[in-house]
């Protein structure tokens, strides 16, 4: 395993981060029961062990994944298998945990409640990387950044980060923090993969310039880059968020997947290795957040660390791409007026 500093900090993280949204209460897709494709606690344990044995020290979850049970599974697994001082636990806040005022969002009240709830579920005294899951249009950014600063100063989090938003929003948050002497974000979680490269325009250059670590979510585009276009899985059949992200660009995206499959056949490797090797080679990328529900998912991701693509191969992979509409910056944009977004949107990051 290779390790890298997270942004301009001294924090060492593995070049791969295990995304833990796959692990949580299994259900029918509602926020109270979880998704049909998540793994229960017993089934998920071997993936934590395999990740740790491979040298992965970085684990990402969120308070909104499977109604908080992802945090519970993650916390118990890490406590049983690793030394706390050797692992980096990341979680997030913003997603409503009940359909009620103040039970979600990025207000001071909500964040102080959310951090305590996450600490309890994770069974730890502190969170290494505490992230805002999205931008909150209903809360002044000054209130959010001061609350996050106070959470860090209280010892409940070591660093703070953010996830998908407009580059101007991220820049504004950093400016507000710097102006007031508050803690700044050290990382950004945007969606980046061969099917969605819009963050290369503004967000990633901003992060490179400012020394912010980039932790791409959905590096395999919800699995689309890891299999033939027409292959079906339980997740592909039930994942409504995938349709939200890619439903309008299927014809264009199929051509990119075909390019990945062609290169994978030529190289004699799994398509997932090709897609991840491309991402790992891009400027500014710190650690893609990988999902794993089968042993080969981890094996392929680790193998991608040693796969070096040639310039002509990268050009062939990128050639079919066409500009996409910007999506994924808001959970509830298609569902304005609801306090709690539907579960298909609220748990959509991998």
Number of H helices, E strands in the chain: 13, 10
Q: Which residues are catalytic?
A: 65
Instruction: Determine contact, residues 7/51, Cβ cutoff 8 Å.
Output: no
All structural domains of the chain: 3-346 (3.20.20.100)
Secondary structure of 86-142 in HEC code, one letter for each residue: HCEEEEEECCCCCCCCCCCCCCHHHHHHHHHHHHHHHCCCCEEEEEECCCCCCCCHH
DSSP 184: P
Q: Can you tell me the distance from the alpha carbon of 350 to that of 67, in angstroms, rounded to the nearest whole number?
A: 16
Q: What is the mean pLDDT of each run of 10 residues along the chain (350 residues)?
A: 98 98 79 74 98 98 96 98 98 96 97 98 98 97 98 98 98 98 98 97 98 98 90 59 62 94 98 98 98 97 98 98 87 41 40
Please report the pLDDT score of residue 271 as a whole number: 98
pTM more than 0.75: yes
Q: How many other C-beta atoms lie within 10 A of the C-beta of residue 253?
A: 24
d(CA 203, CA 185): 14
Q: Residue 143 is encoded by which pair of tokens?
A: 């209130």
Output the pLDDT for position 28.
Answer: 60
Quote helix, strand, coil % in the chain, to nearest 5: 45, 15, 45
Instruction: State the pLDDT at residue 237.
Output: 57
Q: Determine the pLDDT at residue 341.
A: 40
Q: What pLDDT was estimated at residue 36?
A: 82
């Amino acid at each position: 395993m290779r390790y890298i500093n997270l942004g301009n900090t001294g924090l060492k993280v593995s070049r791969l981060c295990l995304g833990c949204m796959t692990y949580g209460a299994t259900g029918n897709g509602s926020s109270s029961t979880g998704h049909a494709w998540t793994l229960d606690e017993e089934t998920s344990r071997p993936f934590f062990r395999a990740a740790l044995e491979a040298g992965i020290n970085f684990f990402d979850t969120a308070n909104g994944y499977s109604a908080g049970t992802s945090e519970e599974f993650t916390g118990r697994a890490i406590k049983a298998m690793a030394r706390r001082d050797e692992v980096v636990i990341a979680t997030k806040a913003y997603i409503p945990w009940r359909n009620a005022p103040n039970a979600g969002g990025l207000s001071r009240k909500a964040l102080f409640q959310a951090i305590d709830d996450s600490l309890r579920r994770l069974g730890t005294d502190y969170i290494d990387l505490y992230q805002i899951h999205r931008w909150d249009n209903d809360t002044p950014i000054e209130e959010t950044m001061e609350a996050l600063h106070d959470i860090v100063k209280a010892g409940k989090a070591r660093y703070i980060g953010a996830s998908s938003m407009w580059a101007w929003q991220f820049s504004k948050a950093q400016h507000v923090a710097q102006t007031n002497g508050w803690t700044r974000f050290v990382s950004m979680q945007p969606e980046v993969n061969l099917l969605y490269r819009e963050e290369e325009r503004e967000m990633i250059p901003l992060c490179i310039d400012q020394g912010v670590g980039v932790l791409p979510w959905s590096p395999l585009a919800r699995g689309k880059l890891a299999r033939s276009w027409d292959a079906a899985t339980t997740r592909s059949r039930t994942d409504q968020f995938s349709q939200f992200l890619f439903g309008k660009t299927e014809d264009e995206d199929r051509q990119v997947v075909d390019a990945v499959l062609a290169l994978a056949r030529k190289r004699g490797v799994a398509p997932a290795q090709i897609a991840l090797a491309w991402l790992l080679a891009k400027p500014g990328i710190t650690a893609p957040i990988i999902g794993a529900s089968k042993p080969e998912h981890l094996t392929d991701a680790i193998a991608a660390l040693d796969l070096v693509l040639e310039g002509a191969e990268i050009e062939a992979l990128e050639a079919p791409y066409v500009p996409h509409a910007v999506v994924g910056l808001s959970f509830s944009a298609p569902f304005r007026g609801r306090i709690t977004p539907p579960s298909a949107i609220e748990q959509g990051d991998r």
